[in-house]
Structure 1
Amino acid sequence: MHDLESVLLFVLIAAAVIVATRWLSRRTGLPSAALLTIIGIIYAYLPGQNIPLDPEVILTFVIPPLLYNAALDSSLIDIRRNMRTVISLSVLLVAVTALLVGVGFHLWVAGATLAAGVALGAAIAPPDPVAALAVGRRAGLPGNLITLIQGEGLLNDATALTILAVAVASVDGEGFSFPTAIGRFVISAAGGVVAGVVVAYAVRLLRHLRDDPISANAISLVTPFAAYLLAESVHVSGVLAVVIAGLIVGHDAPRHSSGASRLQTSAVWRLVDFVLEGFVFLLIGQQLPKVVDRLHVYETQTVVIAVAVSVGVALLLRPLWLVLTQLLPARMHSRLGGDGVRREDRALNRKEVVALSWAGTRGVISLAAVFTLHDNVPDRDLLQFCAFVVVLVTLLGQGLTFAPLVRRLGLRANKADLARERNEARSAAVRAAIDRLDEIQAAKHDHVEDRAIESMQKQLTVRLERYRRRLDLLEQAESDEMPTSPQYEAALAVRREVISAQREELLRWRDAGNLTDEGLRVLERELDHEERLAERS
C-alpha cells in the first residue's frame, strides 16, 4: 500500500508540475518540452526514487496515441501535396543519418561495430516534432513549414524503428546486408500501411456508432492501439499503421461523425496529448543519472569521439541535406497532380531552409528506441549515453532558440490570407445553404412552413452580409496582419457582453431553484459554442 501511495503522490506532483510548466511556458514563450526536461534532470538528482524509462511501455502505450493525435490534426491533402519533401526528410534523411553514424562509429570509435553504430543512428535520426510544432505555431510559422514538420514527424519514426530492427538483427549474427535491410524495410513499411488502412476502414464501418459522442470517444481512444497491435502481430511497422489510420480517420471525420462527437473527441485528445507529452519529457530528464553512471568503463577519449560523431551528424547533416535537395533540378521538384498533369512544387527559400534545419529536436522515441537494445549489443551503455546527449542538445539547444530564430528570420503565417480563406469558405457554405432552402421551397414540402424558411433565409442573409463585410476589410489589408475596424471590434464586444449577460441570468435561475444543474449545463454549452463561433469569425 505504501508503494501505491508513493506512486500516486508522484503522479499528483508530476501533474502539478506539468500544469505549472504550461502556465510558465505561456507567460514566457519558452517551450514546455525543454522546461519539463530541465525539471526532470533536477528531480533526478534530488533524494528519492526515479522512474525508469521502460521502452516497451513507451512504444506500446505512449507513442501510438501521440502519433495518432498528431495524424488526426494533420492534413492528408497537404502531406500528399508535399510528399516529395516529406519522403526526403522522413525516409531518405533518416536512412542516411543512420548510415553515417554507423560508419563514423566503425571508423573512429575504438571497438565499435558498423551494426551498433547504425542502431544508434537509427535511434537518433527521427526528430520529434512536438517541441518544434508547439513553438512554431506560437511564433506564427508559415503553414507550408508546419505541414512539412508534421509530415516528417509522422513518418520518420516508422523508418527509424525499422532500420533499428534490421541493425539489431545483424548484431545477433545475421550480418549487415544492404539488400536484406532494404527488403525488410519495404515489407515492414508496406505491411504497416495495409494494417493502418484496414483499421481505418473498420472505424469507418462503425460510423453509425460514432454519432454518439461517448461511443465516438471510446472508438477513437482504442483505434491507435488496435492499429499498432494488428501491425506488430504480423511483424510489420506498428507506428506507420497508427499514422496511416490517423490520417485516414482524420480526413474522413467531417463526413462520418457528428458535430457533437467531433467536439468532444477533439477535447479528449487535447487532454491526452497534454498529459502524455508532459510525463514523457519529465521522464526523459530523469534518465540522466542512470545513463551517466554506466560510463566508467570507457576512456574519456572514446566517449568524446562517440558523442562528437552522434551530435555532429544529427546537427550538420539536416541543413546540408535540405540545401542539397533544394539545389536539385526543377523536374525533381515536380509531382503528378490528380488530373494527371505534372506540376512543379515551390522550392523552399533560404529562410525556410534555415528554420526547417533548426526544427530537428529529438525526443522520447530516440531514447525509447535506444533503450530497447539488449545486453549483447556492443557498447550498449555508450550508445545510450550518446542518444541522451543528442536528445538534450537538440531539445534544449534548438528548442529554446527556435522561436527567437523564427522571429529573427521574419517567417510567419499570413494571418490576413488565412482569415480570407476561412471567410470565403464560410460565405460559400452559407450560399449553399440558401440555395438548399430555395430548393425546399420550390419542392413545396407540406411539412415545411413558409415562415420557417423565410426566418432561416433572413438569418443566413445576415450572416452572409457579415462575412462579405469582413472579406472587404481583409481585401483592403496592406500587411499580413489581421485587419480590424472599430465597427467590427465593437460588434464583437457587444456579442461578448450579450453572452455574458445570458450566463449570469442562467446562474441566477439555477441559484434560485428555477433551473436544474443539468439544464444549466445544456444551456451553457449552447452559449459556449456561440462564444467560440464569435471569437473565430
Structure 2
Amino acid sequence: MHAETVILLVLAAVAVIVAARWLAGRTGLPAAALLTVAGLVYGLLPGPNLTLDPDIVLSVLLPPLLYSAALDSSLIAIRANIRTVVSLSVLLVLVTALVIGAGFALWVPGATLAAGIALGAAVAPPDPVAALAIGRRVGLPPRLVTLIQGEGLLNDATALTLLTVAVTAARGEGFSTWSALGSFATAAAGGVAAGLVVAYGVRPLRRLRRDPLASNAISLATPFMAYLLAESVHVSGVLAVVVAGLVIAHNAPYWTSGATRLQTDASWRLVDFLLEGIVFLLIGQQLPAVISGLGQYAPSTVVVASVITVGAVLLVRPLWLWLTEHAPQALHVRLSGAPAADEDDDPSTPPRQLSGREITVLSWAGTRGVISLAAVFTIPLVTDSGDPFPDRDLLLFCAFLAVLVTLVGQGATFAPLVRRLGLRADAADAARQRNQARMAAVEAGLTRLDELQAEQHDHVDDAAIESIRAALSTRLERYRRRLETLEDAEGEVPMSPQYEAALRVRRAVIDAERDELLRWRDLGRLPDEGLRTLERELDHQEHLLPARPL
C-alpha cells in the first residue's frame, strides 16, 4: 500500500471518527455502534481495505487502551468489589467458553470441543468501552460503573489464557487439566508481578515526571513496557498493563504536579478518542474476511453455530448473574463496597445483593469488541499435523456475528434501557460529598496557614497571610452555603440561579480579558510568546469553572 493511500485512509478514519462523535452527541446513539456500521459499509465497498492483524491489536492497540481505562478506574473500589469482579472476569468467562464449546461439540457437525472452547474464549470477555461511555452519559450508579470497569480490565487475561490452552488442545499437542490450571495460575501471577515491577519501577523517575512533557512520554511508554516485560517471560501482558495502571493511578497523586496531571489527562483523552474510533472502524471492516470461507459449510451448520454462539453470549451472562445473586449464603457472590442507603456502617451488616434492575443493566452491558476478533484471528490456519485448523472460518464468522449483535444491538439500546429502569446515580449525594471534601481541604489549608504564621515562615508578612486567609475563608463560606442547599436534595443537583449567573459573569470577564490580549498582540504591543503564556493562565481559570453548579 502506497504512503499516499495510507495517509488518505488515516485522514478518512479521523474524519469519520469526528463525524460519529458529532452525530452521537446530536442523536444519542452510541459512537461505537455508529463507527462499527460505518466500517461495515466501507468494508463492502470496492477499494483498499484494512484486515485486522491480531498481533498489532494485542501488542499496539490493546495496551494503551487498557492502561488508560486502568488510570480512570479506582483500585480501592475494585478491591471492595473484588468477589463480584472475579466472578464476572474469571468464572463467567470460563463458563461461557465451556457452554459454547459443549454446544459446538454436541450440535455442530464435525466440530470439536477444543475448537468450540477456543471460540468461546474469544467471545466470552465483554469490551466495556461502549457501555461505560453510555453509562456515564446517562448517570449510571458508581457501583455498576466499578463492576463494569473491573470486569473489563481483568477478563481479557482470562480469555486469552484460556484461548491458548484450547488452541493447543485443538492443534493436537495434548491437553491436561492440571497443566492448563498451572499455566493459567502462572500467567496470572506473573502478570501481576510484572505489572508491579513496572509500576514501582517508574517511581524513581518522579523527578522527571514533574516535567509535564517528560511525564507524558513516560506515561505513554508505561503500558508498552509492562506488556513487553510480561510477554518476554511468557506471562499475561494484559494483566501486567492493568495492574501497572491501577497502582500508578492510585499512587501518582502523591508525587505528580498539577501541571503534569492536566497535560497527561489531556493526552490520554486524545489517545482514547482516536484508538477507540480506529478499533470500532476496524471491527466493521472485517466482514469480507470473515465471510470469505463460509462457502464450504452448509447453511444449516452456519445457522446452528451462530445461534449457539450468540445465544450463549446473550443468555449465559444474565443467568450467571441471577444464580450468583440467589445462591446459598455460603456460595453467594455479593456486591461488596458501598452499603445501601438503609444500611449503617456496621461492618457486620452484609452488603445488599444486586437488584433485578442492576442485574438487567449489567447483563445488557456485556458488549463484545475488538479483543474478541483479535483473539479469534490468532487461531492458526493449520494444526501441527499440517491439517487445516478445524472450522476456523466458521469460528471467525461466529465471533464477528457475536461482536456485531452485541455492539450494535445492545449498544444502541443500552441508554434507553437504563433510563427506562430508572437506574441513575444520586448526583446530589455526589455533590454533597465533593463539597464536604472541598471544605475539609480548605480547613486544612487554613490550619497550615496558622502554623506558618506562628513560625514566621519565609519572612512572609502578616498582610500576605491575611490576604490568603481571606480568600480561603470566602471559599469555605461559599462551600458551606452550597452544602446547606444540597442537604435536603435528592437525585438531581438543585439549580442555583445566583450561582449560574455568577458563572456566566466570570466567563464573560475571561472572554473580555482574552479579547484584550489578542488586541494587544494584533497591535504589536504583546509578542506571541507572551500571549500564549497569558492565555494559559486564563485557560486554567476557565477550566476551573464547572459546567453546572456543584
Which TM class, normalised by the smaller chain length? over 0.9
Counterparts of 1:342 and 1:198, CA distance in 2: 36
Match of residue 504 from structure 2? 493
User: What residue number does 1:298 align with?
Assistant: 297
Counterpart AA for 2:226: A
CA contact (8 A) 1:188 1:237 kept: yes
Residue pair 1:333, 1:345 contacting (<8 A) in 2 also: no
Deviates more, 1:65-74 or 1:323-332: 323-332
Amino acid in structure 2 at the alignment position of 1:427: M
Q: Distance in 2 between matches of 1:137 and 1:485?
A: 23
Checking the alignment, whether the CA contact within 8 Å between 1:336 and 1:343 is kept in structure 2 is no
Picking from 350, 368, 375, the partner of 2:381 is 375
| DSSP-derived class of the 2:425 partner | coil
* Structure 1 position 342, deviation (Å): 6.0
- Where structure 1 has 5 or more consecutive residues not aligned to the other structure, the ranges are none
- 1:459 aligns with 471
Matched, 1:344 2:355: no
Which residue pairs with 1:102 in the alignment? 101
1:284 shift after superposition = 0.7
Superposition pairs of residues 133-532 of structure 1, within 5 angstroms: 133-330=132-329, 332-333=332-333, 344-376=350-382, 377-477=389-489, 479-532=490-543
Cα distance in 2 for partners of 1:463, 1:319 equals 48
Contact 1:18 1:36 in 2 (8 A): yes
Question: Which SS does the other structure have where 2:206 is aligned?
Answer: coil
Q: Which amino acid aligns with 2:423?
A: L
Q: Hey, what's the Cα distance between the residues in 1 that align with 2:127 and 2:215?
A: 28
CA contact 1:227–1:238 (8 Å) conserved in 2: yes
Distance 1:521 1:313 in 2: 56
Aligned pairs for 1:28-43 (under 5 A) are: 28-43=27-42
What is the distance in 2 between the residues matched to 1:441 and 1:333?
54
Deviation at 1:533, TM superposition (A): 1.4
SS in 2 for 1:99: helix
CA gap 1:198/1:463 in 2 versus in 1, 3 angstroms: same
What is the deviation of 1:165? 0.7
> Retained in 2: the 8 A contact 1:319–1:357?
yes
Deviation at 1:336, TM superposition (A): 9.8
Using the alignment, how far apart are the partners of 1:534 and 1:457 within structure 2?
A: 22
Alpha carbons 2:335, 2:353 under 8 Å: kept: no
**Cα distance change, pair 446–211 in 1 and its aligned pair in 2 (3 A):** closer
Q: Could you report, residue by residue, the CA deviation over 1:130-151 in whole angstroms, capped at 9, with x for unpaired residues?
A: 0001111111111111111000
TM-score (norm 1): 0.97
- Mean alpha-carbon deviation: is it higher for 429-438 or for 508-517? 508-517
- Residues 446 and 147 from structure 1, CA distance in 2 versus in 1: closer, same or farther, beyond 3 angstroms? closer
Q: Is the 8 A contact 2:334 2:354 kept in 1?
A: no
State the alpha-carbon separation in 2 of the partners of residues 457 and 10 from structure 1.
Answer: 57
Identity %: 67
Find the aligned partners of 2:193 and 2:464 in 1 and give their Cα distance: 49
- Give 1:428 deviation, angstroms: 0.5
Q: Deviations over 1:56-103 (max 9, x none)?
A: 000000000000000000000000011111000000000111111111
Q: CA deviation at 1:486?
A: 2.2
Contact between 2:99 and 2:312, CA under 8 Å: does it hold in 1? yes
Give the letter for the 1:534 counterpart: L
Task: Give deviations 1:160-189, integer Å, cap 9, x for gaps.
Answer: 001001111112323233222211111100
**Separation in 1 of the partners of 2:409 and 2:373?**
17
Residue identity opposite 2:2 in structure 1: D
How many angstroms apart in 1 are the aligned matches of 2:268 and 2:247?
A: 17
- SS of alignment partner, residue 546 of structure 2: helix
Shift of 1:333: 4.7
Structure 2 vs 1, CA of residues 330 and 487 (structure 1 numbering), >3 Å: closer, same or farther? farther
Question: Does structure 2 retain, via aligned residues, the 8 Å contact 1:123–1:164?
Answer: yes
Give distance in 1, aligned partners of 2:318 and 2:176: 28
Contact 1:335/1:343 (8 A) holds in 2: no
Cα shift at 1:330: 4.4
Q: Cα 1:341–1:137, aligned 2, differ >3 Å: closer, same or farther?
A: closer
Partner AA of 2:121 in structure 1: A
CA contact (8 A) 1:135 1:402 kept: yes
**Residues 43 and 244 (structure 1 numbering): CA distance in 2 closer, same or farther, change over 3 Å?**
same
Give the SS at the match of 2:459. Answer: coil
Looking at structure 1, the residues matched to 98 and 174 of structure 2 have their Cα atoms a distance apart, in angstroms, of 15
SS at 1:56's partner residue?
A: helix
Matched-pair contact (CA < 8 Å) for 1:335–1:344: no
Q: What code does the residue aligned with 2:310 have?
A: V
What SS does structure 2 have at the residue aligned with 1:174? coil
Amino acid across the alignment from 2:395 = L
CA–CA separation in structure 1 for the residues paired with 2:380 and 2:68: 30
RMSD of equivalent CA atoms: 1.6
Distance 1:467 1:191, change over 3 A: same
Partner secondary structure for residue 30 of structure 1: coil
**Alpha-carbon distance between aligned partners in 1 of 2:445 and 2:310, rounded to the nearest angstrom:** 57
| 1:115 CA drift (Å) | 0.8
Opposite residue 178 of structure 2, the aligned amino acid is P
State the alpha-carbon separation in 1 of the partners of residues 463 and 431 from structure 2: 34
| Alignment-derived partner of residue 74 in structure 2 | 75
Q: Is the 8 A contact 1:126 1:362 kept in 2?
A: yes
Amino acid of the residue matched to residue 353 of structure 1?
I
Question: Counterpart amino acid of 2:397?
Answer: F
Q: Secondary structure at the match of 1:375?
A: coil
CA distance in structure 1 between the aligned counterparts of 2:346 and 2:474, rounded to whole angstroms: 42
Asked whether the 8 Å contact 1:102–1:118 carries over to 2, the reply is: yes
Q: State the shift of 1:4 in Å.
A: 0.8
SS at match of 1:207: helix
Deviation at 1:360, TM superposition (A): 0.5
Q: Write the distance in 1 (CA, Å) between the matches of 2:374 and 2:277.
A: 16
Could you tell me how far apart the structure 1 residues matched to 2:406 and 2:254 are?
Answer: 40
Task: Give the TM-score taking structure 2 as reference length.
Answer: 0.95
Cα separation, partners in 2 of 1:176 and 1:103, compared to 1, 3 Å: farther
1:64 counterpart residue number: 63
C-alpha separation in 2, matches of 1:178 and 1:457: 67
Deviations 1:478-531 (A, max 9, x none): x31110122222222221122122111111121121222222222222222212
| Alpha-carbon distance in 1 for matches of 2:198, 2:358 | 36
Instruction: Determine the structure 1 residue equivalent to 2:111.
Output: 112
Matched residues, number: 534
Q: Following the alignment from structure 2 to structure 1, what is the Cα–Cα distance between the partners of residues 135 and 207? A: 37
| CA distance in 2 between partners of 1:416 and 1:54 (Å) | 46
